[in-house]
Structure 1
Amino acid sequence: MIYKLNRDNYRDFSALNINRLPGRAYTVPFKELSRLKKTDCLTERYNSDMVTVLSGEWDFKYYETQSILPYEMDTERIRFDKVQVPSTWQRTGYREPVYLNCRYEFHLFPPELPKEVAVGVYRKKITVDDETKTHIISFLGVSACLELYVNGEFCGYGEGSHNSAEFDITNMLVSGENELLCVVYRWSTGTYLECQDMFRETGIFRDVLLYTYDKAYINDYEVKTRLNGGKEYDLYIDVYLEGETAGKKVSAELFDGRKKICAEEKDADGCVKFSFSALDVKEWTAETPNVYELYLTLKDGDNTLCTVRNYTGFKHIEILGDVFKFNREKIKFKGVNHHDSNPKTGYVMSAADIKKDLVLMKELNVNSIRTSHYPPDPMLLTLADIMGFYIIDEADIETHGCGSLGKYNIYKPNFLSNDLSWAPRYIDRVNRMYFRDRNHPSITMWSLGNESGGYKCQDRCFEFLKSVCPEIPVHYEGVIRTKRVGYDVISEMYTDIENVIKTAKGTRGKKYFEKPFFLCEYCHAMGVGPGALEEYWDAFYSSDKLMGGCIWEWCDHAVYHGKDDKKYKYEYTYGGDHGEEMHDKNFCVDGLVFPDRTLHTGALEMKHAYRPVRSEVSGGNTLRLTNTYRFLSTDVLTVKWELCFDCKRVKDGVIDKGIAPSATAEVTLPLGRIPDDRLVTLNLIYEDKNGNEVSREQHILCDAPAAIETGDKKVLLTESDSGYSAEFENGKIEFSRSTGEILSYEADGTELINKTPLSGVSGFLPNIYRAPLDNEEVNPIPKWNREKLAKIKAVYKGIRAVSDEKEVKITAYYDMTDGKRLYYKSFIEYTVFSDGTVKVRSSLARKRYGWKDLPRFGLTAELPKEFSNVKYLGRGPYENLCDLNGQSPIGLYETTVKEMHVDYIKPQDNGNHGAVRFAEFTDGNGKGLAFLGTPKFSFSAHDYTQKILCAARHREDVIHEDTTFVSIDGFVRGTGTASCGQDTLMKYRFVFDDSIEFRFAMKPITK
C-alpha cells in the first residue's frame, strides 16, 4: 500500500493536533455485564468484548534521520523488522539510551527543532468484521508524536507523549484486512514541554486499543460526589452518548458488593444526567478505600449495546485557611514520586509492574503518589482507587532546560511559561489529563507540571481546571519564584528542615502565610539515604499547615543488560555508559528501591518515618501513643511490646487499648524495676491483623556501658630490631618499628590479623576517609571532597613502648598529610593485658589545614579471610548512620562479611552499623577476634578494600577478595540529602575544633 507521508507536522508549531478526538474518560466497555463483573481492573482491557488490544508484534522500520524517510512509502516494498508494541527504540536496540536530568538533547531555540530527527514507522494489519460499526483507536502513550495513516490515507496527528491520543477511523476501514501505519518522530515541538529527569526514550510505549462500538455508544461520562450536610452524599452522573440514540435507554446502577445502593433508567439522549440524593455511604480515603461499583449501561430494548464500570468513591476536599482537609480531617501526605520505569523495558510498565509498585508502597506505609512528571497509565489510578492512595496527578509539562545552564541551554526559567503563544499547548495537556482521569476518587490534587517556571501559561491552565473541577485543589511548585507564588497550596521542593519549621511558625515570609504548604519533592533518596527523615516528620506533625510531602523518588532508573550481555560488561548502566555525548551520569540512580524493586535502606527508613503510630516514654512505665491514622483506630493493629536486658527479652505483652484516629493516649506497662547497670530497651512491634509487621519502635530506658574485664597477670615486653612484642597468656602481639602497625596478634595458636594484607595495612592505621556517598559526591557541600581527602595518608612518625608488670602500653604516632600540607596529627595507643585484651585509644588533632567537618574518624585493619562470621550488639540488621537508623533498632544480630555488603549500582561506602557494644569476627570453629565498645563504636566489614570501592563506578567493579577488611570508627558523619537538597544536619555531622579521641578494646575468642 502506498502512503504519501506528511513530513512537517512534528516541527509545525500550528499542528498541535489534527483530527485527534477530544479528551474523554478512560473506559473499557463490555457488551456483557456479567463478563465485566467477573473481570478485575488489571485485566479488563484485555478481556473486553468491545476492545481489541493491538499490542504485540508490529512491523517496524527505523530511519536515522527524516531526510531519508521517503515522501511516498510503498509498504509492500519496505523490509520491515518485527518489534513488540509497546516498546521503545532505546530498549530494542535501535538507539542507545540517553539519560538527562534537566537539559534538552538539542539546541534550545523554541519551537525550532534540529534539521535531522530520527523516525520510526510502525505497521499493523488488522481484520475488521463489520465496517459499519464505530471504530476508535486509542494510543495510551507515544513519544514524541504520532502521525496515523489508515489504508493509504492520512488520518491524524497528535503529540503529548503521556496523554492518550484517539482517532475515529470508522470511515477509513473496510471489511476484512486493514493496514495501520504509525509514523513516530524522536522529537516534536511538544518535546520542549517534556524535559523531564529521566531516560529520554521514543516509541509506542503504552497499549494501543481499538474500540468497536455499535452505532450508539457511551463515549464519555463524569461522576461527581458532593457532601450533603453531615455524612450523606449526593451523586451526580453525566453520561455522554454518541450515535443514534433514539429509542434507547441508559441506566446507572451503584453497587456495594452485591447490594444495589441506587439505580435509575432514562431515555437516551446526547447527555443523560443522573442524580441520587442523601446516600448513606462509606467515605473513600487512602486508609479506608471504600469503592462502590458504578455500572452505566446503554440498551436497545433487551439488547445491551455498551456497559462501562467506574470504581466510585465518596470524598470531600476543602481548604480552610491554611489547612488542607480531606473528609473533614487534616491529612498528611506520606508520599513518593513515581516514574514509569522498568529496567528492561524502560517506559513500558505492565499491569503486573504497576501492581507490584503499589503493593510495595502499601507495605512501606506510603499513602500518596505524585505521578511525576506526567499522567500514568490509567490502570495505576484505578489500582489507587481500590488499594487507597492519594494521587497528585501531574500534567506532562516540564521545560527544565530553559532554566539550566550548559550545552544547548539558556538560563531563562520562565521562557516558555510566560509566552502565551504556548498556552494552548499547556492547556491541551492539562485538558486531556483532566478529562481522562477526572472520575477517579484517588485524585486528590491536580498538578500543572514540573519545573517549568511560570506563571502566565499556568494561570490559563489553572483557570481551565477551576472552571470544570473547582472541588479538587491545584498544586504547582514552579510559580513559587514568581509573583503568583502558588495556586491552591504553596508548593516547594527540597526545602530544608529549618525553613519548614519557620513556615509552620509563620516566621518565614508573607507569601507562606495564607495557604497550606506541600513539599512535592523532598529527601532525595540517592544512594545511602535519605538522612533526617524523622526530623522532617517531627516538623510536619508540628503544624496543621504542613501537608507532608513526596520523597524523590520511588525507584532507581537504570538500563538492565543481564549478566551475559557482550556489549556491556555491566548488568545495569546509567548516564554515560552508552557513548552519549551529553548525559548526567548516575543522577538517575536515585530511588528508594533498586530497579528490580529490591528495597534500599532508604525504603525501610521511609517505612519507619511513615509509621502509623508514634510513641514516647512519658515517665516511669508510662507510654504516650499517638495514632497518626486520620480515619482508622489502632484497633486495626496488634501492638506488641517486649522489654529487653542486653537485648535479651525478659518480659512481653500486648497493648489492648484502642486509640481513635489522630488521638493520643497513655498506657502503663508492667515493666517492673529498670536496672541502672544494663542496656535496657523497650521494643514496640505493630502488626496488621494478618501478622505482617507494619512498623516498630524502640526506646532505650537505660544505656549503661558494659564493663570490660582484663587479666591482672604479668605481660612481658620485648624489643627487637623489627619492633616490639608483648607476650600474654597463650599468645602475643607484635608491633612494627617501621610503621607502628600490628604485625601479628596471636592467641592459642590462632592468628587474629591478616599478616599479608591486600590493602597494605594489617592493623591499625587512622582513617578519616570513606568512599564518597552520593550525597557527598554529586553535590559536595562539605569543604572536603573526594580528590582532596583521598590524598591524605597516615604517615608514620614514631613509636613508644612502656611497661609495668600487668600491662604494656605501645603508642604509634602519625601525621595526616598529602605530602605537602599537614592536616592532622594522630596517635594510636595500645594497652595489652595478660588475658590478651588490648585496649585501644586513638586521637586526632586538627592542624592549620585540617577541616572541622569530616566523614569519619576511625581505625582500619584486615583480619584473616576465615573470620567471615559476624555477631554484634548494635543497630541492625540493616546498614545505618546516625541520621539513617530508624529502621535499625539496637539488637543482637548475626550475619556474614559478604552479607554486610549493600550492592548499590554506583558503589559507595556502605554497610555501616552504629551504637555497637561489641562485634565478634569468627571462623568456622568459633575462633576469632572481638571488638568491645568503651562504650560504643561504629563498624563495617567487607571482603574488599576502600581503595577498590573508591575506584568502582559500577557494582561489577567491586572486586571481592580473600580478606576481612574492618573499619572501627569512633565518629561517622550522617548522610543528609545533599545530592539534591539539604546537607547533613549539624547534629549528625562529625565536627570538632581542636582534637578528639575514641576508645575500644579487642579480645581474642579462643573457644
Structure 2
Amino acid sequence: MITILRTVIFSVLTTTIASSLGAITPDWENPSVFAEGRLAPRATSYPYPTPAEALAGNGYGSAYVMPLNGKWKFHFSAKPDSRPADFHSPNFDDSGWDEISVPSNWEMLGYGTPIYTNITYPFPKNPPFIDHSDNPVGSYRHTFRLPDSWKGRRVILHFDGSTAGMYVWVNGQKAGYVQSTKNQAEFDISSFVCEGDNTIACEVYRWTDGSYLEDQDFWRLSGIDRDVYIYSTADERILDFFADAGLDRNYRDGVLRLNTVLQNHSDLTKDTRLDIRIYDAADRQVASQSKQVRLNGNASETVDITQKLRNVRKWSAETPNLYTLVLSLTDNKGNIIESTSSRIGFRKVEIKDSRLLVNGQPVEVHGVNLHEHHQTNGHVVDRETMLSDIRTMKRHNINAVRMSHYPQSPLWYDLCDEYGLYVVDEANIEIHAMGAEHQGGFDKSVHPAYLPQWKEAILDRQRTMVERDKNHPCVIVWSMGNECGNGENFYAAYDWIKSRDTSRPVQFEQAGEAPDTDIVCPMYPSINSMKDYASRTDVTRPYIMCEYAHAMGNSSGNFQEYFDIIRSSAHMQGGFIWDWVDQGLLTKDENGEAYWAYGGDFGAYNYPHDENFCINGLVQPDRTPHPGLMEVKKVYQDIRFAAIDPQRGEFEVQNHFIATDLSDYDFSWELLRNGEKMADGTFELNLPPGQKKAVKAPIPSVDMNDGNDYHLSVYAYTRKGDEIIPAAHEVAREQFSLATGSMTIQKPATTIPATFNKDGNTWSFDCQGNVTIKVNSRNGEVYAYAVNERNLLNGSITPSFWRAPTDNDWGNNAHRRLNAWRYAGHNRKLTALTHDTDKERHIITATYTLPEVNATYVLSYTIHPDGRLGVESTLHADSDHMPELMRFGLRLPLDRSKDNFRWYGRGPWENYSDRNTASFMGIWEGKVDDQFYPYIRPQETGNKTDVRWATLTDDTGFGIKVSGRQPLNVSALDVTPDDLDPGMKKSQMHTSDVHHSRHNVYLNVDLAQRGLGGDNSWGRGPHKEYLLNDKSYNYSFIISPVIPD
C-alpha cells in the first residue's frame, strides 16, 4: 500500500543555493522549483464509462473528457514587470484582450520574435538567472462549464505541454506552477471548480531557469503549444498502469506484465475488482483476467498481473500488430466505476552479443532525427502533417525516428505504434551552451549536469518521459538527452530509468563508452573511427549513431560509404540522419512573395542567431522531398541485390527484413542498351527474412562487346497497398553495368572542310549543313554556333571553375580556401591563339594563364566539315600550390527558348559524384525549370553525373547536343553560380531572392565537380576520392546541332 502523494514534492533547497538565490527569487529562476501542485506523471490514457467505449478508444470523445483547445483570451507582455498581475481573478475584465488559438506559439501569431539559435542561449548566460528586462509573458484566460454528469466527480486539468514556465489558476485559486516544456502536467482542480462558468488563467514565461536545460538546435518559440483538456474520475480510479508487453524466450508467445496503480480518494475502504481484457485487431477478446483489490481510504494500491498469449502476432516496424488492453475497475456489486485502455504491441527489445535485437532479430536502424516543426504553426504539428511524415518516411525505407531532443506530442507515438516506426524517445534536456562532452573543455563547476541543485530537475525530465510513454511499443530505446554533459546527475538518471523499466535499453551520446549507456551512439563520427569500432572484437554494445549524415542544403554525399562500413560488422547497426525537415517558417517579403525564413529573419538580428543552420532536413518545410532523400531510400532498402553474373542475367536477391517474406513484393527487370529499354520481365520470390537466393533473368543473348552500353536494372514493388504505402510502390532498386560502350567520334558524312573567313576580330567558319561558327580572336572565345543563320549560343562559351557554395562548402571554408577559382576563368589572360588545319578539320587553340591560381589553361576547338564542333579543355598547374577545384568545365549560354532538356546519364533527379547510387543510367528528360531545386538558401543545384550526351531544344525540336568523349557532368539551368553565390559573406538570401534569367539557359558541361560531402556541415569536406586535387585535367566533348525532322 502506498500513501497518496497528491502533488510532486520539491527537493529541499540546499544551504548553498538558498543563500545564493534568496527568499524572493522567482520560481522561474530557481532550479529546485519545477513542478508545484503537479500530479505525478503517468501514462497517457483516458477514462471511459464502459469497457466498450474504452475498447473503441475515442479519447477526446469520452463522456469523461472535455477538450479545451480553441480560442482563449490572451495578453502579451514584453517583460514580467508589465504583466497584468491580477488577471487570474474570476471577475477580471478581459474584454479588451486579444484572442489566441490554443495550442499555438505566440510568436507565430505576431507576438514577440521567433529566434533561431543552435548553441548560444537567446538570453544572457548566467544560470539559473534570466534577464528580467527581456522575458516575455503570455497571460491566458479561458472559461468552461462542466457537464452535469460530472457532478460529484473529481476533475483533472491536463496540459500536454507549454513553453517554458507556467502558473495555473482556476477560479482565482492557484493550482500550481510547472516548467512543462514538451512534457505533460496535470492538476487536480476538483476543489476549485464549481457549477456554471469556470475560469482557467495561465501565466506563461518565455524563459525560466529550465531554459538552461532546453538549448536545442531549433526555433525558440513560446506559449501553450500542445493540447489542453480536462477529464473526470470517480474517487476510485485507475491512476496509472505499465503494460510491459514482451515475448517469451522463444519469441513466440506474448507475455504481458501489467503493473497497475489504483487510487482511492475517499475516506472509506472500498472493495473493488480490476478486470483486464485483451482484444486483437478485429476487436475479438483473446485473453482476460480479474483480481479483487481492497482500496484503503486515501491510499493507492499496486496490482501486478501476468497474462500469456500463445502464438502472438508480434509488433515490429515491419509488422505493427497491435492489441487493445482494456482495464476496468468495478465496485463490490459489479458496477463499472471506470474503464480505460491502451493499444499494446508484443515485442522484445534486448541487447545480445553486442547487437540490438527486436524479437530476437538484429535491426539495422534506418533512422532520422525529428524536430516538431510546421511551416506556419511552429512547434504545433497537426495530425495530417504527422501522417504525411510517416508516409514519406516509410516510402523511403526509414524505419526509426529519434525524438530530437524532447518527447513529442502523444499523438505521434500513437501513429508510430499504428503504422510501424521504431522510436528513440529522448528527454527534454540539452545544455549545449554550457559545454558538452567530446566537444572541448568546459567549466563543470557551473554546469547543471554536474551540480546537485539541478539533479531533481534533470531526473524529473526523465521521469515525465518514461512514465508518459512507457506503454508505447514503438518506443524501443530511452535517451537521456543531447549534448548536455555527463555528470553525476545523469548517472543517477540512468540508474532510475533502468530500475523503472527493464524492458528497454538506455542510450546517452554524452557517455561515449562510459557505463551509463547501453548503446554506443556517437554523433558525426569520422569514417576512421567507425572503421575502428567495426573491427573491434572486445565490444559488448552496438554502435548506432544518434546523429550522422548532416543533410544541410545540397548534402547527403558519401551516404553509401557509411553503410559499406556498417554492413561490414554485426555490431554496427545504423543511425539517425540529421535531420528530417527543414525548419523554415513560411512568411512573405516586402513584395508579397512567399519564402521560408531562417535564423536572423523576423527582425531577430538583435538576438544571437545561427542563420540557416536550422535548414538541414531531408524534406522541405512543406514536406517536399529533397533530392538527397532518394539516395537515402536506396541505401536504406532492406531488399538488396548483388551481382553474380549479370551479363547472363544472374544476380542475388537478399532479404534483410526481420519479419517480412518477399512473397509480399513484385519484382521486375529491364535490360538497357545505351539507355533505351530493349527487354524486360517480371519474377516472384518466396524468400524468408534473413535469406538470399540466386535469380536468373531471361535476358536476350547479345554481344556485350559491340561498342554499346548495357545495363541491367532490377526493382521491387509492393504487391498490396494501404493508406501509408500504396500498391506498386517501388521499395528497392539496383542497376548492374554489363558493358561500357565506346565513346569515339563518328566520322563526318562529308570531307569538305569549312570555309574560313576573317573579318577584323572575327574568325568565321562556314560548314556543311549551313552551320556557321564564329571565334573572337581577341579573347579566343567561340560566341556563335549558328544553323541556317539561327545562333544557338546566346553568348560565349567560357570556362567554369566555380560553383555556388553549398552549405557544406561554407562549413569547411571552401568559399575562402578555394576563392581563387571564383573569378579565375573570368580573369584569364590570353597568351596565344593559333589556327591550324588537319586534313579537313580546322583547329583553333587558345592558351591562357590563370594568374590567381598560377596555372595554364588551354581551350582547343576542332571544327569538323559537317558543322560539329569539338571542344577540348586542359588545365595544368604551373606550381605545386594550385588549390583544389570546385569544378572543371565550360558553360554554354543558350536562348531561353531552349527549355527542353534531355540526357543519357544518371537521373532523373540531380546527382553528384558522391551521391548517385540511387540515380540510374538511362535516357531522361525534363524542363529546364525543373532542373533547379529550390534549396532554401540558394546554392549549387541540378547536376547530373556520368552523362554520355545531352540536348537542349525548343518546342519545335531545334537545339544543341553535347556528346562526351568520356562521361560528363551536365546541368541545364536558368541561373549562373553568381546568381546563387552571395560572395565571401553568407547573407540572408532565400529562394525568392534568386533572379531566374528570362533570356538565357546555361548548359554546364563539366568533366567533374567537387563532391557534396555530408559527414557534417562545419568542417569536414567531401571524402578525398571526391575532391578535385589533381594538378592537371583534360576532357573533351562534341557540340552538334539538333534539327527537327
Encode CA deviations 1:166-213: one digit per residue, 9 max, x unaligned: 111111111111110001001111111000000001100000011122
Task: Identify the match of residue 811 of structure 1 among 845, 867, 871.
Answer: 845
- SS of structure 1 residue aligned to 2:191: helix
After TM superposition, the structure 1 = structure 2 runs for residues 470-509 of structure 1, keeping only pairs within 5 Å, are: 470-480=502-512, 484=514, 487-506=517-536
Aligned position for 2:732: 695
Q: What is the aligned partner in structure 1 of residue 967 from structure 2?
A: 936
Q: 1:692 to 1:278 in 2, by over 3 A?
A: closer
Match of 1:72 in 2: 86
Does residue 734 of structure 1 match 2:774?
yes
Match of 2:598 in 1: 574
What's the counterpart of residue 385 of structure 2?
353
Q: Distance in 1 between matches of 2:881 and 2:901?
A: 35
The within-5 A match list for 1:630-641 is 630-641=658-669
Question: More displaced, 704-713 or 891-900?
Answer: 704-713
Quote the offset at 1:725 in angstroms: 1.5
Does the Cα contact within 8 Å between 2:784 and 2:796 map onto a contact in 1?
no
* Partner AA of 1:63 in structure 2: S
Query: 1:24 pairs with 42, 50, 53, which one?
Result: 42
Question: Which residue in the other structure is 1:99 paired with?
Answer: 116
Which region of structure 1 is more displaced relative to structure 2, 626-635 or 173-182? 626-635
Choose the corresponding residue for 2:1013, options 961, 976, 979: 976
The residue that corresponds to 2:21 in the other structure is none
Structure-2 residue corresponding to 1:661? 689
CA gap 1:159/1:178 in 2 versus in 1, 3 angstroms: same
The 1:893–1:194 alpha-carbon spacing in structure 2 relative to 1, beyond 3 Å, is same
Q: Do the aligned residues in 1 keep the contact of 2:579 with 2:616 (CA within 8 Å)?
A: yes
Q: Does 1:311 align with 2:343?
A: yes
Q: Summarize deviations over 1:705-758 as a string: whole Å, max 9, x none.
A: 34432423222222232131221011210000122211211112321101xxxx
Output one character per residue of 1:459-514: Cα deviation in whole Å (capped at 9) or x when no partner.
Answer: 0000001111122101010122xx8365111110111223212210019xx8xx33
Alignment of 1:155-170 (within 5 A): 155-170=175-190
* Distance of 1:594 and 1:411 partners within structure 2: 38
Structure 2 partner of 1:758: none
Q: Match of 2:902? A: 871
Deviations 1:401-440 (CA, angstroms, capped at 9, x unpaired): 11289xxx97669822122221111110001100000011
Work out which of the residue numbers 988, 997, 1001 in structure 1 matches 2:1026: 988
CA displacement 1:4-57 (0-9 Å, x = unmatched): xx9922123331211111010011232244445445xxxx33322221111100
Which residue in 1 is equivalent to 2:31? 13
Distance in 1 (alpha carbons) for counterparts of 2:824 and 2:883: 17
CA distance in 2, matches of 1:674, 1:155: 83
For residue 246 of structure 1, what is the amino acid of its counterpart?
K
* 1:956 and 2:992 correspond: yes
The amino acid that maps onto 1:995 is: S
Displacement after TM superposition at 1:666 (Å) = 1.8
1:721 aligns with 2:754: no
More off after superposition, 959-968 vs 298-307: 298-307
**1:720 is aligned with what amino acid?**
D
Q: Residue in 2 aligned with 1:646?
A: 674
Aligned to 2:722: none
Q: What is the CA-CA distance between 1:796 and the residue it aligns to? A: 3.6
Residue in structure 2 matching 1:624, options 652, 663, 667: 652
Q: Aligned partner of 1:148: which letter?
A: V
CA contact (8 A) 2:860 2:871 kept: yes
Question: Residues 776 and 696 (structure 1 numbering): CA distance in 2 closer, same or farther, change over 3 Å?
Answer: same
Structure 1 residue identity aligned to 2:560: E
CA distance in 1, matches of 2:790, 2:804: 32
Q: Which deviates the most, 206-215 or 587-596?
A: 206-215
- Alignment of 1:141 onto 2:169: no
Pick the aligned partner of 1:120 from 133, 138, 147. 138
Alignment-mate amino acid for residue 582 of structure 2: D
Equivalent runs, 1:33-432 vs 2, <5 Å: 33-38=51-56, 44-73=58-87, 76-78=92-94, 79-116=96-133, 117-128=135-146, 129=148, 130-230=150-250, 231-243=252-264, 246-256=270-280, 257-268=282-293, 269=295, 270-277=301-308, 279-300=310-331, 301=333, 303-403=335-435, 415-432=447-464
- Give % identity: 30
Q: Distance in 2 between matches of 1:660 and 1:541?
A: 20
Cα deviation digits, residues 65-98 of structure 1 (max 9, x gap): 1012244345624431100000112101001111
Cα distance in 1 between the residues matched to 2:115 and 2:811: 19
Structure 1 unaligned blocks of 5 or more: 1-5, 755-761
Report how far residue 132 of structure 1 moved: 2.1
CA distance in 2, matches of 1:303, 1:56: 35
SS in 2 for 1:576: coil
Distance in 1 of aligned mates of 2:820 and 2:112 = 35
Query: 2:784 aligned with 1:748, yes or no?
Result: no
* Aligned-partner Cα distance in 1 for 2:797–2:758: 20
Q: Secondary structure at the match of 1:854?
A: coil
Give yes or no for contact 1:869–1:922 (8 Å, CA) kept in 2. yes
Deviation for aligned residue 1:704: 1.1
Match of 1:593 in 2: 619
Conserved 8 A contact 1:717-1:803: no
**Match of residue 11 from structure 2:** none
SS at match of 1:491: coil
Does 1:704 find its partner at 2:741? yes
**1:772, 1:786 within 8 Å by CA — same for their partners in 2?**
no
1:437 aligns with 2:469: yes
Give the letter for the 2:715 counterpart.
I
1:1000 and 2:1037 correspond: yes
CA displacement 1:661-695 (0-9 Å, x = unmatched): 12222222222345222111111111011211112
After TM superposition, list the pairs within 5 Å mapping 1:516-527 onto structure 2. Answer: 516-527=542-553
User: SS state of the match for residue 171, structure 1?
Assistant: coil
CA distance in 2, matches of 1:919, 1:413: 63
Deviates more, 1:980-989 or 1:78-87: 980-989
Contact 2:491 2:516 in 1 (8 A): no
Residue 242 of structure 1: CA displacement? 2.4
Cα gap change, 1:945 to 1:497, in 2 (>3 Å): same
SS at match of 1:401: helix
**Normalization by structure 1: what TM-score?**
0.94
Per-residue CA deviations over 1:212-261 (Å, capped at 9, x if unaligned) read 22332222111113433322232121222223582443211111123321
How far apart in 2 are the matches of 1:181 and 1:7?
22
Match of 1:795 among 812, 816, 828: 828
The 1-side partners of 2:893 and 2:1039 are apart by: 14
Q: In structure 2, how many angstroms separate the alpha carbons of the residues matched to 1:342 and 1:65?
A: 27
CA contact (8 A) 1:879 1:912 kept: yes
CA contact (8 A) 1:404 1:411 kept: no
Contact in 1 for aligned 2:462/2:493 (Cα 8 Å): yes
Q: Give the counterpart letter for 1:675 in structure 2.
A: M
Q: Distance in 2 between matches of 1:895 and 1:980?
A: 34
Letter in 1 for 2:413: L
Q: Do the aligned residues in 1 keep the contact of 2:287 with 2:309 (CA within 8 Å)?
A: no
